[in-house]
Amino acid sequence: MTTSTFQAVTTPPSAPARLNEASDPKTTLQYLRGVVGLTPGEIAKAIGTEDRSIRRWMKPDDTSKMQLRNAERLDDLRSLVVLLADTLPGEQTGNWLRARNRLLERERPLELLCTPKDDGYAQQYKRVERAALRFVDGDPI
């Protein structure tokens, strides 16, 4: 008589298929990591926090709340990704965010989003959003 032992297999939650305007922060982070392919460090810089905070917020059992400034910037990043998603699915959106862009004077959109709030974040976000809109409307990079 043989006995078998079963081991529980735990896998990280899979990324959602799509984001929308009502996606919560945990879902947004899972999508940015799993579908868009951004690293915790890239996400952290873009929203003004540390990568260990991103990893903590992504844990299924984490119930901590983001500071308002981080939540607002994550929402901005989510809005850009939603805007680009139909034109650039999956990792292509991440590639667009990392690539030098002629509509932004050869700067990288993700780096512009790293601008501190006091140093003109709102203007940089608007520049990136306009470039994304132009791209979606058919203006090549």
Indicate whether 5 belongs to any domain.
no
- Characterize 16-49 residue by residue with b for buried, 16 or more Cβ atoms within 10 angstroms of its Cβ, and e for exposed: eeebeeebebbbbbbbbbbbbbbebebbbbbbbb
Q: What is the pLDDT of residues 71-129, one digit of tens each?
A: 999 999 999 999 999 899 999 999 999 999 999 999 999 999 998 878 899 999 999 99
- Residue 106: predicted pLDDT: 96
pLDDT band, very low/low/confident/very high, at 16 (cuts 50, 70, 90): low
**Which residues form the domain of 103?**
25-136
Indicate whether 81 belongs to any domain.
yes
Q: What is the pLDDT of residues 35-85, one digit of tens each?
A: 999 999 999 999 999 999 999 999 888 888 889 999 999 999 999 999 999
Indicate whether 20 belongs to any domain.
no
Query: In total, how many domains does the chain have?
Result: 1
Indicate whether 7 belongs to any domain.
no
Nearest of 36, 28, 30 to residue 13 by alpha carbon: 30
Whole-model pTM: value is 0.83
Indicate whether 94 belongs to any domain.
yes
CA angle 100/102/104 to nearest 5° reads 80
Indicate whether 8 belongs to any domain.
no
